[in-house]
Amino acid sequence: MSFKITDKVTWVGKIDWELRRFHGDEYSTDRGSSYNSYLIKDEKTVLIDTVWEPFAKEFVDNLKKEIDLNEIDYIIAQHSEIDHSGALPLLMKEIPDTPIYCTSNGAKILKAHFHEDWNFIEVKTGDTLNIGESTLTFVEARMLHWPDSMMTYMDSDAILFSNDAFGQHYASDLMYNDLVDQCELYEEAIKYYANILTPFSPLVTNKIKEVLSLELPLNMIATSHGVIWRDNPAQIVEKYLEWANAYQENQVTIVYNTMWNATRRMAEAIAEGIKSVDGTVTVKLFNAANTDKNDIITELFRSKALLFGSSTVNKGIMNATGGLLEMIKGIGFKNKKAAAFGSYGWSGESVGIIEEKLKDAKLDLIEGGPKILWNPDKDALEQCVEFGKEFAQKL
């Protein structure tokens, strides 16, 4: 499959309808994804990025239907992660001398991945490549989200090839943002930001300001995953600025692990207390053990406050809560209040352990969350409701 975007630019990527897990098992892709590769035909011919390795043969075969591979003058490798560089080894077997434009970190990482001494041309922000009527300008986007990431701006068609930035793990043959279901699109875009880009939010803000200051015309943002932003492409740039700025909605999320429902009942009582203080706040509860971890991260991203609960097991906390607390430490949410709660049978360490982990994650901890022995009775549940009220009053 290929898809003509403009007179000069053709999409030559791969829609991966089957994909359900990405980055190993670290990211759920319930709506699949795509690996977007773009072929530019001007006086010179340029290929921007490739696809994930399992689709390498299909990609190269399709590319041959578009063009004699020997006519490709330049390859631009905007990002060396395998989902975009995975077809390079097969492609380079066919056209081994073709120059590959990438950042210096890109060259290092591609060499480390593939152990090939291809013809790398290292570029940095502001470097240009004239290809006829069009000039391509490179913009390094270090740590958005790898050290090698970069974007490419094509002046003749006013397209920003943004690579991972502004992407979504979202398979659709409709190709453009205005043609797909807007709820699905934004669900995938915010999940992508929350799980992948939150740790780099200060860099997101600075990079967007840097690019906006150039006042370049912008017809499209052609990402490396999901649909192309052609209808008001600035909308996703504005969303990124909002998301990068310690984003929160009027939401509190309660995440818990429970063995025999004592901790679940505590969670529900805390939620009742919160709602009794503020009827307008959205309170969402998730059992960490049976909810997708990336969907929970997205809900936490949208929240102004987080509560984590677990019963004590073997002097520790339960597995899924532990995993999520490790994730949020790495993600580095800003400006969110947090608290812990939990039930126990004898030793009762869980609340203390969670509180330490919330501090480690640099969340604004409200201490003193309820710790209940065995199954909560009426008084214990009332204690949880009271804690919910106190917590809500501090938001």
Whether 84 sits among the annotated catalytic residues: the reply is no
Extract the tokens encoding 329: 């430490």
The catalytic residue among 27, 145, 256, 344 is 145
Closest by CA to 90, choosing from 68, 67, 63, is: 63
148 is a contact residue toward ligand FEO (CB under 6 A): no
The catalytic residue among 35, 74, 79, 268 is 79
83 is a contact residue toward ligand FEO (CB under 6 A): yes
- Do the Cβ atoms of 245 and 205 come closer than 8 Å? yes
CA–CA separation, 219 and 159 (whole Å): 6
CA–CA separation, 193 and 298 (whole Å): 9
Whether 81 sits among the annotated catalytic residues: the reply is yes
Q: Within its chain, how far is the Cα of 228 from the centroid?
A: 16
The catalytic residue among 153, 192, 193, 256 is 192
Whether 27 sits among the annotated catalytic residues: the reply is no
The catalytic residue among 16, 42, 83, 355 is 83
CA–CA separation, 69 and 229 (whole Å): 28
Whether 38 sits among the annotated catalytic residues: the reply is no
CA dihedral of 44, 47, 48, 50, whole degrees rounded to 10: -170
Q: Kindly determine how many residues on this chain lie close enough to bind ligand FEO according to the rule CB under 6 A.
A: 9
191 is a contact residue toward ligand FEO (CB under 6 A): no
CA–CA separation, 169 and 226 (whole Å): 6
What size, in residues, is the chain? 395
Extract the tokens encoding 203: 């860099």
Whether 225 sits among the annotated catalytic residues: the reply is yes
Q: Tell me, what amino acid is at 184? A: E
* Contact track, ligand FEO, 32-71, x by CB under 6 A: ----------------------------------------
Span from 54-62, 78-86, 233-241, 362-370 in contact with ligand FEO (CB under 6 A): 78-86
Q: Which helix (H) or strand (E) holds 47?
A: strand 45-48
**Which DSSP category does 200 fall into?**
G
- Do the Cβ atoms of 188 and 226 come closer than 8 Å? yes
Minimal distance in Å, beta carbon 16 to ligand FEO? Answer: 11
The interface with ligand FEO within residues 262-321 (CB under 6 A) comprises: none
Minimal distance in Å, beta carbon 106 to ligand FEO? Answer: 12
Span from 80-88, 186-194, 211-219, 304-312 in contact with ligand FEO (CB under 6 A): 80-88
CA–CA separation, 38 and 265 (whole Å): 53
CA–CA separation, 75 and 121 (whole Å): 10
224 is a contact residue toward ligand FEO (CB under 6 A): yes
Minimal distance in Å, beta carbon 56 to ligand FEO? Answer: 16
Closest by CA to 298, choosing from 165, 195, 168, is: 195
Whether 145 sits among the annotated catalytic residues: the reply is yes
Please identify, using beta-carbon distances, which residue of 83 and 268 lies nearer to ligand FEO.
Answer: 83
Extract the tokens encoding 363: 């969340």
Please identify, using beta-carbon distances, which residue of 35 and 301 lies nearer to ligand FEO.
Answer: 35
84 is a contact residue toward ligand FEO (CB under 6 A): yes
What count of other Cβ atoms lies within 10 Å of the Cβ of residue 349? Answer: 17
Please identify, using beta-carbon distances, which residue of 207 and 225 lies nearer to ligand FEO.
Answer: 225
The only residue of 16, 42, 49, 81 in contact with ligand FEO, by rule CB under 6 A: 81
The catalytic residue among 225, 247, 268, 299 is 225
The catalytic residue among 16, 42, 81, 140 is 81
Q: Which residues bind ligand FEO (CB under 6 A)?
A: 79, 81, 83-84, 145-146, 164, 224-225
Give the catalytic positions in this structure. Answer: 23, 79, 81, 83, 145, 164, 192, 225
